[in-house]
Chain A
């Protein structure tokens, strides 16, 4: 029977998805305060990132994680209060990084 034995991958919400960034040595940075140029050696592309986006990417380079984990880690670093808005913001930045080909989504 067609499809027999094939198990569909579980569907995760965006907040549950786990994100992974390239290895540290695959990204090269040039920074000017809150503006950063990042060269991705895998694609040969250069990306210009604002501070918050760069911090999300740097966090993922250090530790792959879900949007919640990334948000918690960034809030902890900055000492800011973490709420739903922070999570929404991180999720939006993760989506942007994903669209730019800088991070990938993996299963939980």
Chain B
């Protein structure tokens, strides 16, 4: 059953009570909240995601709650508990949804060590995955959103999850948080894209989430092998350049980009080695999304 199929009163009651069990990629998340406004956004952005029937064991427990005290009357806040622990300072109440998304990312990055986790966007076309590994500020999410709007299948805008056994990429489609200037860029680039409300003044500036298509969610269980490693860099005014890089260089960049390469030890080394072996490796400098997409489409088609 999809979240959208759950009657609204059942949804609200479960969310405030025992929690809603949602499947996102390979993970089951138990979400509790009685925080005002959050339920509507969760229902909107996760409408196509499967609800897991009880009883089930959740990988992550996420609870949103309002801290008590007099402050709640004049500057209400929201507190996130991950597996019962407070990890972040409270956020303004209106930022509950971005806080939930960041909190879930944090939980995955801290715990999902059955996978090699790359800080990377991942999209699929022609049965192979394009990885766009990059740290924040490189335009990775914007490029990912643009590719998805042009027919690439979203695996994730944040995590390249690599299964150690066979080197396959595992989809983890979720709403994509666009930040600041990227929001308008994608609004212009893909006017039909489902963009949610803007959250102003977050720790990352203004954030708006891009919805995940039903088709992407339905194919969440369909993994794919890696095809291309492209290290993107957005440079205002730069002309588009897609240049191959030597594999040793790609190896270093990828190992440094991983959340858990060191922690995985030999398994991390083997997974990164295999990825670099299996992929064509490039660096991409761009300022124009259309040009970048033409070049990446060409890679996929050739």
A residues apposed to B, CB below 8 Å: 28, 30, 32, 35, 37, 39, 41, 44, 46, 48
Contacts and interface: CB of A to CB of B under 8 A. Distances in A.
Given A28-B270, A30-B273, A37-B273, A44 B247 contact: no
Nearest to B247: A32
6 shortest A-B CB distances, which residue pairs?
A39-B269, A30-B273, A35-B248, A32-B247, A44-B265, A37-B251
A28 B255 CA distance: 15
Given A28-B266, A37-B269, A39-B266, A46 B255 contact: yes
Contacts of B248: 32, 35, 37, 48
Nearest to B262: A44
B221 interface: no
Contacts of B262: 44
Nearest to A34: B248
B246 interface: yes
Contacts of A41: 265-266
B246 A46 contact: no
**Size category of the binding interface on chain B:** 10 to 19
Given A28-B266, A30-B276, 13 more contacts: A28-B269, A30-B269, A30-B273, A32-B247, A32-B248, A35-B246, A37-B248, A37-B269, A41-B265, A41-B266, A44-B262, A46-B255, A48-B248
Contacts of A37: 248, 251, 269, 273
B13 to A, nearest CB: 49
Interface string B237-274: 00000000011100110010000001001100110010
A41 B265 CA distance: 8
B256 to A, nearest CB: 10
A37 B247 CA distance: 10
Contact of B252 (A28, A39, A48): A48
Contact of B251 (A28, A30, A44): A30
B253 to A, nearest CB: 12
B255 to A, nearest CB: 6
Nearest to B273: A30
B113 to A, nearest CB: 14
A44 B265 CA distance: 6
Interface in B210-248: 246-248
A84 to B, nearest CB: 31
Nearest to B249: A35
Nearest to B261: A46
Nearest to A41: B266
A32 to B, nearest CB: 5
A32 B248 CA distance: 7
Nearest to A50: B248
A32 B269 CA distance: 15
21 contacts: A28-B266, A28-B269, A28-B270, A30-B251, A30-B273, A30-B276, A30-B277, A32-B246, A32-B248, A35-B247, A35-B248, A37-B248, A37-B251, A37-B269, A37-B273, A39-B269, A41-B266, A44-B265, A46-B255, A48-B251, A48-B252
B247 A46 contact: no
Contacts of A32: 246-248
A37 B275 CA distance: 14
Contacts of A46: 255, 269
